[in-house]
């Protein structure tokens, strides 16, 4: 095949310097197939070239970690010979262009990352960010993304147990769709991607290859402009039915010992899967592209290598085990094709119609991948806002109703009722809790899972915001009674070639690293999504954290709804009334400015460990972490969830609105039937805790405010989402 006609360095997103490196590696001009392979392997999406330097600083190890970043997903030990395998991944750009299919294939991709490693997926989570509700595209995007997530997860039969949805004008041109999957495997049956050994058959399974999604990886590494709608043909279409068959067939084959290595074909398809397997195994691979199952006619090697057709896997088998594998895949009505063999050349050689179409040495393709230390200048600090600088509401109760009826704090029921959150029969409780809980099948244990990030904090102070994202995701886990074990992260930012964006990335990673260290929650997997900009307008920095924890007996967990009348309400943690960068300030007091609340990681750890222990000791009847909207919103949510009111008799020594809506960190609201025991233990542990009211009655009464009936709270909380989605 001839060289590309146009200037190659412009053709596929490579820089002139990167192109020169290719010339050095090959000692000649690359042909189109080879250039395509370098382009996707060196794309931001596959090479992490802008972020790698900083990602390396994150803590990734601990006694609980079986496998950290670098494989398809992270693996942690959950005892009794079992492992939890999980990862979060973005599908932002495809979801903006075609929301249903973009979101659906995002779910399909992350599911494959998890079952590739030998785990049966047991839970899906997500973190979604949309533009302003007033933006003309937002409703359509919400509708499509939610339906797509549900469409895929519901069909394959993995429960979608929780997540987060938020709106901000900064996402008008770039929505975020981050999907997380958690699976469970035996610790002695975990599969990796290293194709160690020569003369081994390379086997393709799953759907046939078509032209869909070609250059999806490079699309995920470029800014949008107004022509992005024209990029529709590169969006893949998901087939959850085939993925269900692929899942069952893979798990059945994994029960044998026929597999040497396995890798899903996700971004950059056959290219990245074959290169990664060969690279990790220090071998070469020769592929016969004529043998790749093809869905369309006249496909070229370039298209076959770069296609992102979904529901495909590449495996390396032990020699002679092909027929055994084929029998299993045929039972599940799937294609299996031997398309190549490993050898000791350390080269990727592609054969096409009897001739060599591409020949690339693998070590430099992988190791010479660019890594940039992009310039950045630290984000200027913002002034701290005293409560007195933030306007008081005319009426605390009206302000609370406005907040819980707002787009960001209202009930997400409209969303999660479209997700089958109960299939597989192990979901404890319903979505809307602090952390979702999924029982480990056949045991009493449960995994607790949360996703979180507060982008306005990260914008205000990337380091504190990065800490807070970890702290809040982490805090959700002890608030049900579970012990956090590890996190996965999805770093969503704008164009890293801009100083101020790179500064957000660097600061957030620094903050996250410190928090993961202090909270003993190493990062075991993750994903980076950069260039989330349209016409120079970047998204808010959004480093989403997914946290996974464990509780030994799911029956000892607590929910976040009031459970009975006459319980004492206790606030755990210090309430200083931090209103800067709060939801109250943003929505009711003229804009999100001022410094975000600082995160004291030692306090965070101490308070969280204390609350978890108190729950496990049976002292707590309900628990809710305090986050967006502060104490007032937390109390309202507990009243709504339990259908029980409360009388709050605190006499705050700070302005009431700061007490009610301040967003100080490391706080929980708990209810107890024996408050004395709880308070004594808190005092002994040095944990601030204060009895602040009693549950009961039909209304919630905040200090100095008129009562609000629980019915009114519930109705206000429930109203916004369905009304918004039904309007046009």
Partner 1 sequence: MSAAVIVFPGSNCDRDIAVALEAALGTAPLMVWHGDSALPGVDLIAVPGGFSYGDYLRSGAMAANSPIMREVVSHAGRGVPVLGICNGFQVLTECGLLPGVLMRNASLKFVCRDVDLRVERGNTAFTGGYKVGDVIRIPVAHHDGNYFTDPDTLKSIEDNDQVAFRYCEPDGTVSDAANPNGSLANIAGVLNGNGNVLGMMPHPERLIDPLLGGTGGTPMFTALAEAVAA
CB proximity list for 19: less than 8 A, separation 6 or greater: 8, 9
Which segment (236-244, 391-399, 569-577, 672-680) binds partner 1 by CB under 8 A?
Answer: 236-244
Compute the distance between CA of residue 83 and CA of residue 577 in angstroms, rounded to an integer: 41
Which segment (111-119, 423-431, 529-537, 680-688) binds partner 1 by CB under 8 A?
Answer: 423-431
Among 39, 234, 427, 468, binds partner 1 (CB under 8 A): 427
Residue 588 neighbours by CB distance under 10 Å: 19
The encoded tokens of residue 617 equal 């000791």
Compute the distance between CA of residue 674 and CA of residue 138 in angstroms, rounded to an integer: 47
Per CB under 8 A, 637 contacts partner 1:
no
Per CB under 8 A, 596 contacts partner 1:
no
State phi, psi for 112 to the nearest 5 degrees.
Answer: -65, -40
Q: How many residues make contact with partner 1 (CB under 8 A)?
A: 33
Per CB under 8 A, 586 contacts partner 1:
no
If the CB atoms of residues 143 and 359 are measured against partner 1, the closer one turns out to be: 143
Per CB under 8 A, 412 contacts partner 1:
no
The encoded tokens of residue 694 equal 């009693």
If the CB atoms of residues 244 and 606 are measured against partner 1, the closer one turns out to be: 244
DSSP state of 600: -
SS (H, E, C) 333-381: CCEEEEEEEEECCCEEEEEECCEEEEEEEHHHHHHCCCCCCCCCCCCCC
Among 70, 79, 81, 157, binds partner 1 (CB under 8 A): 157
Distances (CA, A) of 125 to 174, 207, 589: 20, 25, 33
If the CB atoms of residues 160 and 273 are measured against partner 1, the closer one turns out to be: 160
Report the nearest approach of partner 1 to the CB of residue 544 (Å).
Answer: 24
Beta strands (DSSP E) in 239-304 are: 259-264, 284-288
Q: Is 446 exposed, middle or buried (0-12, 13-18, 19+ CB in 10 A)?
A: buried
Compute the distance between CA of residue 543 and CA of residue 549 in angstroms, rounded to an integer: 19
If the CB atoms of residues 143 and 392 are measured against partner 1, the closer one turns out to be: 143
CB proximity list for 725: less than 8 A, separation 6 or greater: 139, 142, 143, 414
Per CB under 8 A, 432 contacts partner 1:
no
> Which of 568, 575, 571, 567 lies closest to 690, judged by CA?
571
User: Across the chain, which distance is largest between two alpha carbons, in Å?
Assistant: 84
Told to judge if 45 belongs to the known catalytic residues of this protein, a careful annotator would answer: yes
Which segment (241-249, 360-368, 600-608, 698-706) binds partner 1 by CB under 8 A?
Answer: 241-249
The encoded tokens of residue 47 equal 């090479």
Per CB under 8 A, 429 contacts partner 1:
yes
Instruction: Give the CA angle between residues 407, 97, 722 to the nearest 5°.
Output: 25
Residue 97 neighbours by CB distance under 10 Å: 18
If the CB atoms of residues 59 and 153 are measured against partner 1, the closer one turns out to be: 153
Per CB under 8 A, 326 contacts partner 1:
no
Report the nearest approach of partner 1 to the CB of residue 552 (Å).
Answer: 14
If the CB atoms of residues 112 and 439 are measured against partner 1, the closer one turns out to be: 439
The encoded tokens of residue 401 equal 């109703």
Are the CB atoms for 537 and 623 separated by under 8 Å?
Answer: no
DSSP state of 50: T
Per CB under 8 A, 125 contacts partner 1:
no
Q: Is 381 exposed, middle or buried (0-12, 13-18, 19+ CB in 10 A)?
A: exposed
- Residue indicated by tokens 């405010």: 705
Among 428, 503, 515, 620, binds partner 1 (CB under 8 A): 428
Report the nearest approach of partner 1 to the CB of residue 588 (Å).
Answer: 32
Residue 512: strand, helix, or coil: helix
Are the CB atoms for 580 and 663 separated by under 8 Å?
Answer: no
Binding-residue pattern over the window 434 to 473 for partner 1, x denoting contact by CB under 8 A: -----x----------------------------------
Among 241, 323, 391, 643, binds partner 1 (CB under 8 A): 241
Per CB under 8 A, 112 contacts partner 1:
no
If the CB atoms of residues 270 and 438 are measured against partner 1, the closer one turns out to be: 438
Per CB under 8 A, 418 contacts partner 1:
yes
Q: Tell me the β-bridge partners of 435.
A: none
Q: Tell me the β-bridge partners of 671.
A: 569, 622
Which segment (215-223, 235-243, 373-381, 484-492) binds partner 1 by CB under 8 A?
Answer: 235-243
Compute the distance between CA of residue 582 and CA of residue 595 in angstroms, rounded to an integer: 9
Per CB under 8 A, 240 contacts partner 1:
yes
If the CB atoms of residues 161 and 485 are measured against partner 1, the closer one turns out to be: 161
Residues 327-346 that bind partner 1 (CB under 8 A): 332-333
Among 139, 208, 382, 430, binds partner 1 (CB under 8 A): 430
Told to judge if 680 belongs to the known catalytic residues of this protein, a careful annotator would answer: no
Which segment (207-215, 349-357, 424-432, 694-702) binds partner 1 by CB under 8 A?
Answer: 424-432
Among 40, 103, 123, 156, binds partner 1 (CB under 8 A): 156
Which segment (66-74, 148-156, 336-344, 640-648) binds partner 1 by CB under 8 A?
Answer: 148-156
Among 36, 106, 108, 150, binds partner 1 (CB under 8 A): 150
Report the nearest approach of partner 1 to the CB of residue 619 (Å).
Answer: 20
Give catalytic residue positions: 45, 91
Interacting residue ranges for partner 1, rule: CB under 8 A: 147, 150-151, 154-157, 239-242, 244-245, 332-333, 416-430, 439, 554-555
């Amino acid at each position: 095949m001839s060289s590309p006609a146009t200037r190659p360095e412009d053709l596929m997103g490579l820089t002139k310097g990167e192109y020169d490196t290719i010339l050095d590696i090959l000692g000649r001009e690359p042909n189109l197939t080879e250039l395509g392979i370098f382009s996707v392997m060196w794309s931001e999406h596959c090479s992490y070239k802008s972020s790698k330097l900083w990602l390396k600083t994150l803590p990734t190890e601990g006694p609980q970690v079986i496998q950290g970043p670098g494989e398809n997903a992270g693996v942690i030990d959950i005892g009794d010979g079992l492992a939890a395998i999980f990862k979060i991944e973005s599908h932002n750009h495809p979801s903006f262009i075609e929301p249903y299919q973009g979101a659906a294939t995002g779910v399909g991709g992350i599911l494959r990352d998890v079952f590739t490693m030998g785990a049966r997926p047991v839970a899906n989570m997500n973190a979604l960010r949309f533009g302003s509700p007033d933006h003309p595209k937002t409703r359509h995007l919400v509708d499509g993304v939610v339906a797509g997530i549900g469409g895929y997860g519901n069909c394959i039969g993995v429960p979608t147990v929780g997540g987060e949805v938020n709106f901000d004008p900064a996402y008008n041109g770039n929505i975020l769709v981050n999907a997380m999957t958690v699976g469970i495997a035996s610790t002695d049956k975990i599969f990796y991607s290293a194709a160690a050994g020569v003369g081994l058959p390379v086997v393709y399974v799953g759907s046939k290859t078509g032209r869909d999604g070609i250059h999806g990886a490079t699309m995920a590494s470029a800014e949008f402009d107004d022509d992005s709608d024209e990029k529709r043909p590169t969006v893949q279409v998901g087939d959850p039915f085939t993925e269900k068959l692929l899942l069952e067939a893979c798990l059945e084959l994994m029960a044998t010992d026929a597999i040497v290595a396995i890798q899903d074909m996700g971004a950059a398809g056959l290219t990245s899967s074959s290169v990664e397997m060969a690279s990790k195994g220090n071998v070469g691979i020769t592929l016969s592209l004529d043998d790749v199952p093809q869905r369309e006619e006249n496909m070229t090697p370039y298209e076959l290598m770069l296609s992102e057709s979904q529901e495909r896997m590449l495996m390396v088998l032990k020699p002679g085990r092909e027929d055994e594998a084929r029998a299993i895949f045929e039972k599940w009505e799937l294609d299996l094709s031997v398309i190549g063999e490993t050898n000791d050349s350390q080269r990727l050689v592609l054969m096409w119609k009897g001739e060599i179409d591409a020949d690339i040495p693998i070590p430099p393709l992988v190791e010479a991948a660019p890594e940039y230390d992009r310039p950045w200048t630290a984000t200027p600090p913002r002034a701290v806002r005293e409560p007195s600088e933030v306007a008081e509401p005319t009426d605390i109760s009206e302000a609370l109703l406005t907040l819980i009826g707002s787009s960001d704090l209202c009930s997400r029921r409209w969303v999660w009722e479209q997700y089958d959150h109960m299939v597989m029969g192990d979901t404890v409780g319903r979505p809307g809790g602090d952390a979702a809980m999924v029982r480990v099948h056949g045991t009493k244990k449960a995994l607790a899972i949360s996703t979180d990030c507060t982008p306005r904090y990260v914008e205000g102070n990337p380091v504190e915001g990065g800490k807070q994202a970890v702290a809040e995701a982490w805090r959700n886990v002890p608030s049900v009674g579970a012990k956090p074990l590890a996190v996965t992260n999805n770093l969503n930012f704008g164009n890293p070639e801009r100083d101020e964006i790179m500064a957000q990335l660097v600061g957030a990673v620094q903050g996250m690293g410190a928090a993961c260290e202090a909270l003993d929650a190493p990062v075991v997997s993750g994903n980076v999504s950069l260039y989330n900009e349209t016409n120079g307008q970047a998204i808010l920095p959004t480093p989403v954290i997914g946290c996974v924890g464990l509780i030994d007996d799911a029956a000892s967990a607590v929910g976040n709804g009031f459970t009975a009348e006459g319980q004492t309400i206790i606030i755990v943690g210090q309430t200083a009334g931090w209103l800067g960068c709060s939801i109250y300030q943003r929505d009711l007091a003229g804009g999100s400015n001022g410094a975000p609340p600082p995160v004291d990681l030692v306090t965070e750890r101490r308070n969280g460990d204390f609350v978890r222990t108190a729950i496990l000791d049976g002292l707590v009847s309900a628990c809710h972490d305090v986050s967006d909207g502060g104490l007032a919103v937390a109390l309202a949510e507990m009243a709504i969830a339990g259908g029980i009111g409360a009388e709050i008799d605190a006499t705050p020594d700070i302005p009431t609105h700061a007490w009610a809506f301040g967003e100080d960190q490391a706080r929980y609201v708990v209810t107890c039937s024996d408050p004395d025991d709880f308070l004594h233990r808190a005092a002994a542990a040095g944990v601030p805790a204060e009895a602040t009211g009693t549950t009961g009655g039909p209304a919630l009464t905040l200090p100095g405010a008129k009562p609000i009936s629980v019915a009114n709270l519930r109705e206000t909380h429930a109203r916004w989402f369905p009304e918004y989605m039904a309007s046009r």
